[in-house]
Amino acid sequence: MSIHLVIIDAMNLIRRVHAAQPNPDDIAGAAQVCCRALNKIIKEAEPTHMVAVFDHAEQDRGWRAELVPEYKQGRKPMPEALQQGLNKIQDAFWDMGIDSLLSSGDEADDMIATLALKVGSHNGQVTIISTDKGYCQLLHPTIRIRDYFQQRWLDTPFIEKEFSVLASQLTDYWGLVGISSSGVSGVPGIGPKTASTLLQRYGTLEQLFAAEDIEPKWAKKLDGNQALALRCKQVATLKTDIILGFNLQDIRFNPAQ
């Protein structure tokens, strides 16, 4: 039987649903909306395996903050009602036959990336449900990303249109322009258009900083910022070697009767 693993970026889904609720204290209502969304996803995707991956609520900013101290420093904390109600939402997922994976020491993004690559590299089909474009660096014939809220695929044509680079160049791109939502600065003075132009010409950050024919208007901005750019690239790069501690059989999807 062919494998189709659907991975839910749980907090990406839940926080967006919760933010749209008229009563932020109505966690039961948010759980119902999340479950309706999951039912639609299940109907469309027909998964053989499924898991919802959560960030640990009390997790610190981890190794990325050691590289870039500003990483996620200014993010708003999770609303208290939602934090207190996460167990109820996890229980609702469980009642649907969807297991939850809770990160411990590693960000959910890295756990999702590790799981996706592990299954995708063995010819299993993987669909990641998230609006987070950071997962697009994983794009592969066996790994795809679905934005449930916009009802669109974050695929290669989308990336080329959105960023004017290849999916394989995204971490280089973010190393140059940064990621404002995560407090990652990138190289001062380098914007999206310049970054895509440089990467179209030189391919990677490493090749860019090794080049000797960079136009003066760009060289001036890049000068002295190689270490910063490479740190930002490292922060943007998803880890794919997390020890998960379970096997695929553990997350086989058995719809609740």
List C-alpha distances in Å: 221 to 80, 164, 177, 182, 234. 43, 21, 12, 22, 20
* Sequence ranges of the chain with CATH classification 1.10.150.20: 164-236
pTM for the whole structure: 0.95
Measured in degrees and rounded to the nearest 5, phi and psi for residue 247 equal -120, 175
187 marked among binding-site residues: yes
Summarize pLDDT for 20-62 with one digit per residue, the tens. Answer: 999 999 999 999 999 999 999 999 999 999 999 998 765 667 8
How far apart are alpha carbons 120 and 8 in whole angstroms? 16
3-class secondary structure, 90: helix
- The reply to whether 51 sits in an annotated binding site is no
The answer to whether 251 is annotated as binding is: no
What's the Cα-to-Cα distance from 243 to each of 38, 111, 112, 120, rounded to whole Å? Answer: 27, 8, 11, 16
Task: Give the separation between CA 221 and CA 217, rounded to whole angstroms.
Answer: 7
pLDDT per residue over 148-197, tens digit each? 999 999 999 999 999 999 999 999 999 999 999 999 999 999 999 999 99
190 carries a ligand binding annotation = yes
Q: What topology is assigned to 164-236 in CATH?
A: DNA polymerase; domain 1 (1.10.150)
- Inform me whether the pLDDT recorded for 219 exceeds 90: yes
CB 78 within 8 A of CB 15: yes
Fold (CATH) for 4-154: Rossmann fold (3.40.50)
CA-nearest of 182, 221, 181, 180 to 198 is 221
- pLDDT confidence of residue 234: 97
Neighbours of 164 (CB within 10 A): 16
Which regions of the chain carry the CATH code 3.40.50.1010? Answer: 4-154
- Round the average pLDDT of the chain to a whole number and report it: 93
- Tell me the one-letter amino acid at 208: L
